[in-house]
Amino acid sequence: MSKNFDVIVIGGGPGGYIAAIRAAQLGFATACIDEWKNDKGGPAPGGTCTNVGCIPSKALLQSSEHYEHAAKHFAEHGIGLKSLSIDVAKMVARKDQVVKQNNDGILYLFKKNKVSFFHGRGSFVKAVDGGWEIAVGEDVLTAKQVVVATGSSARALPGLPFDEDKILSNDGALRIGAVPKKLGVIGAGVIGLEMGSVWRRLGAEVQVLEALPAFLGAADEQIAKEAQKAFAKQGLKVELGVKIGEIKTGAKGVSVAYADAKGAEKTLDVDKLIVSIGRVPNTTGLNAEAVGLKLDERGAIVVDDECRTNLPGVWAVGDVVRGPMLAHKAEEEGVAVAERIAGQHGHVDFGLIPWVLYTSPEIAWVGKTEQQLKAEGRAYKAGTFPFLANGRARALGDTTGMVKFLADATTDEILGVHIVGPMASELIAEACVAMAFKASSEDIARICHAHPSLAESVKEAALAVDKRTLNF
């Protein structure tokens, strides 16, 4: 059957489904095609984020944090437990339920916004009449505007495909059936630290092997050091500067040969191994070559600053293009593209995309790091405030970490905010708003923050820029 639309979106992850909803809101006849299948073979829109990424990882992080609190911190509050157990199957089933609620939520949003949903793989057929023909199963859809939002998949080590039993991608790491005694992780990036934290909290002995000599190189150095100390204290072992050698799987588990930072040959024997060494853009199946859609050497779709590809009327957003692989970045690009199609001035400020690691302590930042400002030769002032001096953090029993402000030495404009500590993921939003409005650290310092709240640490760090903290 042939169907005509104004806009076709290929991919129903956060980039795609949000682009489709915004396009429909703007009055376009919109279709969204997504191929993700749930356990029963039915549609499961939401992409990596909903099915095997942001949402399920946060569900397991929450469950494992509850367990760790019960095991290690309830006693401080005078709460005694006669016995404590973990039902991993139930924990994973709850996570699956959270995922399903999100899948269903997106299908509801499609109905509400009159987006036509097609379950299957979308691929380019040919250019037609100033637009594009896209095949999905038996259907052939046409539209003048096509948004490609096909996302990314886990990168495997050469010669070591994921079997999701012993060699796990993010997908298998979210479906381990019982707590492994020993868990290895290759790559101390975002997934390695988050998934390593989940299974460590539940009792696994976790060893992370990282190729780079620096821990969390993209974060502010002072913040990364503080986080590294906290992780070490919890027993999450991270070895930096390693070179991975041969990896063998056998009946008993996985054996990883590697050279440590000094070049000494070592072996790590584990029950399961998570490989989290980055992700690759998804373009197979799009039939990109047939229509001449340009890809770069990494396989990402080449786009300009406004997400236009080399083909007229074809846009691409999210993990399949350049830039950080983050759900909120994909969403922002999706909205901006829909608005550009409508002739509006959609805008994404790439300098103000926040990063969050949902470990404990959480790590969050927006804007420039101190090392970036130094490299740029920009004169800046820094102010920090430790959660140790915050009343709410003491009441919570979680005083690890700090808030750090970086502001221009002359104008006082906030250039970066970095947080390691409780609820950093929520606290960073204030910094994003302030920086979007080009606020100075003095602006934040003059705003009344509720007491007692963790957010007072943000205000105090802003005061620290002018060396006048009140509580430290």
Q: What is the binding site for ligand NAI (CB under 6 A)?
A: 186-192, 194, 209-212, 244, 276-279, 324-326, 356-358
CB of 275 to ligand FAD, least distance (A): 12
Determine whether 77 is an active site residue: no
Q: Which is nearer to ligand NAI, 89 or 212 (CB)?
A: 212
Q: How far is the CB of 77 from ligand NAI (least distance, A)?
A: 29
Strand ranges inside 303-394, DSSP E: 314-316, 355-357, 362-367, 380-386
| Site track for ligand FAD across 160-179, x = CB under 6 A | ----------x---------
Min separation Cβ 42 and ligand NAI, Å:
26
For the segment 29-48, give every residue that binds ligand FAD (CB under 6 A).
33-36, 47-48
Bridge partners of 206, per DSSP, are 183
Does the annotation place 327 within a ligand binding site? Answer: yes
Q: Please give the C-alpha separations between residue 265 and each of 243, 245, 251, 273, in angstroms, as whole numbers.
A: 9, 9, 23, 19
Q: Helices (H) and strands (E) in the chain — how many of each?
A: 14, 22
Pick between residue 168 and residue 179 the one whose CB is nearest to ligand FAD. Answer: 168
Q: How many C-beta atoms lie closer than 10 Å to residue 231's C-beta?
A: 24
Q: Which residues pair with 247 in a beta bridge?
A: 256
Choose the stretch contacting ligand FAD; rule: CB under 6 A; options: 9-17, 89-97, 263-271, 377-385: 9-17
Q: Is 426 annotated as a binding residue?
A: no
The single residue of 69, 73, 119, 451 carrying the catalytic annotation is 451
Q: Among ligand NAI, ligand FAD, none, what binds residue 209 when CB lies within 5 to 8 Å by partner kind?
A: ligand NAI
Amino acid at 130: G
The C-alpha R_g of the chain, in whole angstroms, comes to 24
408 contact partners, CB below 8 Å, separation of at least 6? 378, 379, 380, 381, 415
189: annotated binding-site residue? yes
CB closer to ligand NAI out of 198 and 286: 198
Question: What is the separation, in whole angstroms, between the first and last Cα of the chain?
Answer: 69
Burial 174-196 (b: 16+ CB within 10 A, else e): bbbeebbebbbbbbbbbbbbbbb
Structure tokens that stand for 299 in this block: 């396989």
Q: How far is the CB of 95 from ligand FAD (least distance, A)?
A: 12
Tell me which of 10, 288, 300, 366 binds ligand FAD, using CB under 6 A: 10
| 183 is known to lie in a ligand binding site | no
The secondary element (H helix, E strand) that includes residue 145 is: strand 139-148
Q: Is 16 in the site for ligand FAD (CB under 6 A)?
A: yes
Interaction site with ligand FAD (CB under 6 A): 10-16, 33-36, 47-49, 53-54, 57, 121-123, 149-152, 170, 191, 282, 285-286, 318-320, 325-328, 330, 358
Q: What residue numbers does the annotated binding site for NAD(+) cover?
A: 187-194, 210, 278
| Active site (catalytic) residues | 451
